[in-house]
Amino acid sequence: MPAPATPVLDLSASSVDLTRALCDIPSVSGDERTITDAIEAALAASDHLELTRDGDALVARTDLGRDRRAVIAGHVDTVPINGNVPTRFETIDGREYLWGRGTVDMKSGVAVQLKLAAELVAPAVDVTWIWYDHEEVGEELNGLGRLARERPDLLRGDFAILGEPTRADVEGGCNGNMRVEVRARGLRAHAARAWVGRNAIHAAAPILDALAAYEPREVEVDGLVYREGLNAVGISGGVAGNVIPDECMVHVNHRFAPSRTGDEAEAHLREVFAGFEVTVVDRADGARPGLTSDVAREFVAAVGGDPRPKYGWTDVARFSALGVPAVNYGPGDPLKAHADDERVALDEIVSCERGLRAWLLGG
Amino acid sequence: MPAPATPVLDLSASSVDLTRALCDIPSVSGDERTITDAIEAALAASDHLELTRDGDALVARTDLGRDRRAVIAGHVDTVPINGNVPTRFETIDGREYLWGRGTVDMKSGVAVQLKLAAELVAPAVDVTWIWYDHEEVGEELNGLGRLARERPDLLRGDFAILGEPTRADVEGGCNGNMRVEVRARGLRAHAARAWVGRNAIHAAAPILDALAAYEPREVEVDGLVYREGLNAVGISGGVAGNVIPDECMVHVNHRFAPSRTGDEAEAHLREVFAGFEVTVVDRADGARPGLTSDVAREFVAAVGGDPRPKYGWTDVARFSALGVPAVNYGPGDPLKAHADDERVALDEIVSCERGLRAWLLGG
């Protein structure tokens, strides 16, 4: 029995209504217990699913003895609310939307998954459904990462689908993501006698020149073209208004195609910034598109449309690292994720539900 | 009568001992009342001086009807103490020093002035002695600036000597000082889709290139060669590790020869940084050397040595702005001002006392 405070989710409602119900349960990262309790309670009666709770992640598996197993996952947390709850319906230029925090990232995707998890008692492939916590915060807290470390058996499968927003298209894999600090050094002196010192900010000029001149590659990987990027995302330096600074740090973000390993990307950055101190502060390998297997091709055929590359890093890379090909597929425009006017087009929710159901029914 | 808590200063002590006594009265900017009370009390018995208290500044004037009047000034505040009180004597490579906060900047200069103010009841020129507050903090609080605004009559004279540290040499005038913010603008975007935005940090590359390539002038003014400077003293930009930044600000300090006005210097910077937003945040005109008048030449002859230019901006510019030629002359190495190992060579204190006495006695 759910505790009295646990909201009741009706999984037979439409995926749009279910999206709304999920959004109206606040679940900013770190505060996922209530929503995961609600999901667990709603699935408790589904005898075709074996439930495993791990912290505020919930895994629900079918065990039908199918040849192949799909892993279908989504996170239940959101970035902080900024005046954008409760949800409301809006019509813009004749298209209907559900507006509010979480509608895009990614409770509409979770709603589609939940509805189908309950409804499809005998899918054509075995399915491991995963709803997890802490996606919007630090790497070390990520619920899918925790499962990958502690229960990698639960992530095993032939193919994985992550419900991150893709406007209901299939977006394969993801770019790798790396952040480095590039430093120029100098020697402090009073600004009235600058010639006694060496100005570290002036010494950083070649770093900015290299960034401004850099031409990012476009790299085809398994038929999809990934666009790379190299960008300063921060710069700092300076001691006081009358002091020649002895350090200037340029914080650089690099997005690299999934055909390149993190080691290769790091070596590339050390070449671009030769002569400067380069410190890696964050590094996540990308994921290849995951579209070369039979099961992936069948999925794409069932949901329709042309697969595109995913530019942003997503948790598909965790599956990729375990040898499970993975794609992103979910309702919502990723440019509206985290936005104050976050809103999902209702037709994209319906489209994802239709696509996923078609594939799971063996279509 | 001094309040019971007012320390007693013995103005007949040696200028070295008097320096030590002054340093051992804490007087970080904003906390000058005690030291000014002590100075006022010590001079109360000097009938040849007319005292005027203004806040924590004290003006002491002779009125002997001399043809010429000298203004001799020094500030009584210090930058914050950093474990460097109480003072102690040190011998380094056979030279004796007084170590501690304020020994260089500038209680040794004040000690020499105080001793001579009390001792010389009939100097060859009329003298206006000024000891003032708040030199080490914001322009708007500066005690000499306050007097210049509210009691300009008290600053009037034919020649001014500021006791800032010069290693007991005469340093003429000072460079002008200006700070500007130079900004590059861009357009925010998610770092995974950098091509949607415009990176403001990359756009700032030409600002750093211009600074790195800049060759500062050396400019002769009234026989002294001033060395200019143009330096980034700070840089900032960035929103978050995954966002293309929309602004980058370079904080630039410019030191310009006193032959150039602030307007001319500003026009020069707008030319150097053409194409970027330039905002002046601080601006102080320099001061010409002040060595062309008869009284200045007599002063230099009396104290000996070759005058040099002052690179750093000092309050001599306030006299210069009032039409009073002014020089810097005081014990201590300016490179040790504000340093944790601030210390003054005792021979420089004695040398300044001797030089100033010689000139004031008509030598």
Interface test with B, best of A171, A179, A253 (most B CBs within 10 A): A253
What is the mean pLDDT of the segment spanning B169-173? 93
Cβ–Cβ of A211/B229 closer than 8 Å? no
Return the residue matching tokens 């929309």: B246
Cα separation, A36 vs A225, whole angstroms? 37
**A4 has a pLDDT exceeding 80:** no
Nearest residue on chain B to A236, judged by CA atoms? B236
Looking at residue B94, its pLDDT comes to 96
Cβ–Cβ of B201/A312 closer than 8 Å? no
Nearest residue on chain A to B177, judged by CA atoms? A192
Cβ–Cβ of A201/B234 closer than 8 Å? yes
What is the mean pLDDT of the segment spanning A303-322? 91
**B235 has a pLDDT exceeding 90:** yes
Interface test with A, best of B233, B283, B340, B342 (most A CBs within 10 A): B233
pTM for the model stands at 0.82
Which of the residues B37, B135, B285, B353 is marked catalytic? Answer: B135
Contact assessment for residue A312 and residue A256, using Cβ atoms and an 8 Å cutoff: no
Mean pLDDT score across all residues of chain A: 94
Cβ–Cβ of B209/A209 closer than 8 Å? yes
What is the mean pLDDT of the segment spanning A329-356? 94
Cβ–Cβ of B238/A232 closer than 8 Å? yes
Q: How confident is the model at residue B3 (pLDDT cuts 50, 70, 90)?
A: low
Strand order across the beta sheet in which A308-309 lies: A50-54, A57-61, A126-132, A69-75, A159-162, A326-328, A171-172, A308-309
Looking at residue B227, its pLDDT comes to 95
What is the mean pLDDT of the segment spanning B203-210? 98
Nearest residue on chain A to B228, judged by CA atoms? A192
Residues of A in contact with B311 (CB under 8 A): 192-193
What is the mean pLDDT of the segment spanning A277-295? 91
What is the mean pLDDT of the segment spanning B169-189? 94
**A251 has a pLDDT exceeding 90:** yes
Nearest residue on chain B to A215, judged by CA atoms? B195
Cβ–Cβ of A239/B231 closer than 8 Å? no
Helix/strand/coil (H, E, C) string of chain B? CCCCCCCCCCCCCCHHHHHHHHHCCCCECCCCHHHHHHHHHHHCCCCCCEEEEECCEEEEECCCCCCCEEEEEEECCECCCCCCCCCEEEEECCEEEEECCCHHHHHHHHHHHHHHHHHCCCCCCEEEEEEECCCCCCHHHCHHHHHHHHCHHHHCCCEEEECCCCCCCCEECECEEEEEEEEEECECEEHHHHHHCECHHHHCHHHHHHHHHCCCCEEEECCEEEECEEEEEEEEEECCCCEECCEEEEEEEEEECCCCCHHHHHHHHHHHCCCCEEEEEEEECCECCCCCCHHHHHHHHHHCCCCEECCCCCCHHHHHHCCCCEEECCCCCHHHCCCCCCEEEHHHHHHHHHHHHHHHCCC
Interface test with B, best of A236, A242, A249 (most B CBs within 10 A): A242
Looking at residue B105, its pLDDT comes to 95
What is the mean pLDDT of the segment spanning A98-118? 97
Looking at residue A189, its pLDDT comes to 86
Measure in Å the smallest separation between the Cα of B334 and chain A Cα atoms: 10
Looking at residue B363, its pLDDT comes to 60
Residues of A in contact with B201 (CB under 8 A): 208, 211, 231-235, 250
pLDDT digits (tens, 9 = 90+) for A56-93: 999 999 999 999 999 999 999 999 888 888 999 999 99
What is the mean pLDDT of the segment spanning B118-143? 95
Residues of B in contact with A234 (CB under 8 A): 201, 237-239, 241, 245
Cβ–Cβ of A202/B236 closer than 8 Å? no
What is the mean pLDDT of the segment spanning B244-260? 96
Measure in Å the smallest separation between the Cα of A228 and chain B Cα atoms: 8
- Residue among A199, A240, A313 minimizing CB distance to B232: A199
Q: How confident is the model at residue B4 (pLDDT cuts 50, 70, 90)?
A: low
**A33 has a pLDDT exceeding 90:** yes
Give percent of chain B with pLDDT exceeding 70. 99
Within 8 A by CB and 6+ apart from A58, the residues are: A36, A39, A40, A43, A51, A52, A130, A131, A132
Contact assessment for residue B130 and residue B73, using Cβ atoms and an 8 Å cutoff: yes
Looking at residue A339, its pLDDT comes to 85
**B256 has a pLDDT exceeding 60:** yes
Mean pLDDT score across all residues of chain B: 94
CA nearest to B343, candidates B104, B162, B40: B104
**A2 has a pLDDT exceeding 70:** no
Looking at residue B42, its pLDDT comes to 98
Cβ–Cβ of B205/A193 closer than 8 Å? no
- Residue among B191, B203, B216 minimizing CB distance to A253: B191
Measure in Å the smallest separation between the Cα of B289 and chain A Cα atoms: 16
Known catalytic membership, residue B77: yes
Contact assessment for residue A335 and residue A170, using Cβ atoms and an 8 Å cutoff: no
What is the mean pLDDT of the segment spanning A334-356? 94
Q: How confident is the model at residue A3 (pLDDT cuts 50, 70, 90)?
A: low
Cβ–Cβ of A234/B237 closer than 8 Å? yes
Residues of A in contact with B138 (CB under 8 A): none
Interface test with A, best of B235, B244, B250 (most A CBs within 10 A): B235
> DSSP secondary-structure letter at A334?
G
Residues of B in contact with A229 (CB under 8 A): 191-192, 194-195
Cβ–Cβ of A253/B242 closer than 8 Å? yes
Looking at residue A340, its pLDDT comes to 86
Tokens (6 digits) for B222:
């009234």
Cα separation, A286 vs B54, whole angstroms? 70
- Residue among A199, A238, A251 minimizing CB distance to B238: A251
Which of the residues B37, B56, B77, B315 is marked catalytic? Answer: B77
**B81 has a pLDDT exceeding 80:** yes
Looking at residue B86, its pLDDT comes to 93
Give percent of chain A with pLDDT exceeding 90. 83
Looking at residue B5, its pLDDT comes to 79
Cβ–Cβ of A199/B211 closer than 8 Å? yes
Nearest residue on chain A to B181, judged by CA atoms? A241
What is the mean pLDDT of the segment spanning B55-72? 97
> DSSP secondary-structure letter at A128?
E
Residues of B in contact with A203 (CB under 8 A): 212
pLDDT digits (tens, 9 = 90+) for A160-172: 999 999 999 999 9
pLDDT digits (tens, 9 = 90+) for B20-31: 999 999 999 999
Looking at residue A192, its pLDDT comes to 87
Q: How confident is the model at residue A39 (pLDDT cuts 50, 70, 90)?
A: very high
Measure in Å the smallest separation between the Cα of B287 and chain A Cα atoms: 14
Cβ–Cβ of B241/A282 closer than 8 Å? yes
- Residue among B179, B229, B242 minimizing CB distance to A194: B229
Measure in Å the smallest separation between the Cα of B196 and chain A Cα atoms: 11
Residues of B in contact with A190 (CB under 8 A): 312, 335
Pairing of strands B159-162, B326-328: parallel
Cβ–Cβ of A235/B237 closer than 8 Å? yes
Active site residues of A: 77, 135
**A1 has a pLDDT exceeding 60:** no
Contact assessment for residue B69 and residue B153, using Cβ atoms and an 8 Å cutoff: no
Cβ–Cβ of B212/A202 closer than 8 Å? yes
